[in-house]
Amino acid sequence: MASPLAQKLAKALGSPVTASKPMRGGDIADVSCLTLGDGRKVVAKRPRADQGDTTKLEAMMLKHLRAASDLPVPDVLFQEAGILVISHIDHKGIIDPRAAAEDVAKHVSALHRVIDTGKKPYGFKADTVIGPLPQKNTLCADWITFFRDNRLLAMARSCLNTSRIDAAFMKRVEALAVKLPDLIPADPGASLLHGDLWAGNMLIDGDRAAGFIDPAISYGHREMDLAFIQLMGGMDPAFFDAYHAHFAIEPGFMEERTALYQLWPLLVHVRLFGGGYVHQTANILERFGV
C-alpha cells in the first residue's frame, strides 16, 4: 500500500510517482526529479535534517512571482511541512552565452518594472529567506532605512552573533550605515526583486532563460539584483548593455553603488562560510572610508 505522502502526491499531481532520481541541489535541501505514471517529471525539495524547513516560504515566493510578474518560474504543485513539489523546467545549459545573457536581461528588466507604489513600498508582506538564512522584510517608507536596517545591519549582526566577525568589524559596518544617505537614493522605486540572482538559480536552455528558481524576494532598489549578478552571476558582459537598453541603469551604479550593494550577498556568505568573504567585505568598507 502506498504511504500517506505518496497518496497525497498522487491526488495533487493527478498521477502516482513511479521513479525518483537525485538532482544537484543547494545547501539546504535534498532535490529529486520524480517521474509520474503519466510520464511527466516534477521536482521535489525536502529540507535536510540540519536545516530549517523553508518549503512554505519558497512556495509563497514562487506563487508571488508567478502572480505579480511574467518571470518564468516553476509552478507550485504541492507543499506541506517537509516537502515542496514544483514543475520541472527542461534546460540544456548555455550554448550561446551572449544571447542567453541578453534574454536574462529581458526577463530581469521586466521583473524590475513591477513596482510597489504603496506608502511603505520597500520590503515585503512577510519575512523571507535567502538560502538557509532569515531575510528581514519589515516594510519601510524609504529605501535608505530599509537597506540599513533590514539588509546591512541585520546580516552584520547575525555575523557578529555567530562570531563570523568581531566587534571592531561591526563598528565599521555601523559607520558605513551612517553614511548611506550620501551614497544611495531614498526613493529609487520599489521594484520586485528576485533577490538571489546568480548562475545556479538561472536555468538556461541554449540561448534563452528557461526559468528562475530559489528566489529571495522583496521590493527594493533594482540595483540590488544587478549588483548580485555582477558579483557572482556568471553572465556574459552583454547582460548589462541589454538590461540598460530595456531599463536604463542610473549613473553611478557601476562606479559606486555596485560595491555598496554587494555588501549584502557578501555578508550572507560571511555568515554562511566566513573565510575569504570577510576580506572581500573589509575591502569594500575600506573603499568607503570606514
Ranking 196-200, 229-233, 256-260 by mean pLDDT, the lowest is 229-233
Bridge-based pairing state of the strands 208-212 and 17-23 = unpaired
One of 3.40.50.2300, 3.30.200.20, 3.40.50.720, 3.40.50.300 is the CATH number of 4-87, namely 3.30.200.20
Which three cell numbers mark 261?
Answer: 550593494
pLDDT at residue 257, as a whole number: 97
Q: Which residues pair with 203 in a beta bridge?
A: 211
Give the pLDDT band (50/70/90) at residue 96: very high
Tens digit of each residue's pLDDT (9 = 90 or more) over 236-287: 999 999 999 999 999 999 999 999 999 999 999 999 999 899 999 999 999 9
Domain boundaries, the chain: 4-87, 93-287
User: What does residue 34 show for φ and ψ, rounded to 5 degrees?
Assistant: -100, 135
Flag whether pLDDT at 1 surpasses 60: no
For residue 172, give the amino acid letter: R
Task: Point out the residues that are catalytic.
Answer: 196
Mean pLDDT of all residues in 103-119 = 97
User: How much is the mean pLDDT over the chain?
Assistant: 95
pLDDT at residue 24, as a whole number: 78
Does this model's pTM top 0.85? My answer is yes
Query: Which CATH homologous superfamily contains domain 93-287?
Result: Aminoglycoside phosphotransferase (APH), C-terminal lobe (3.90.1200.10)
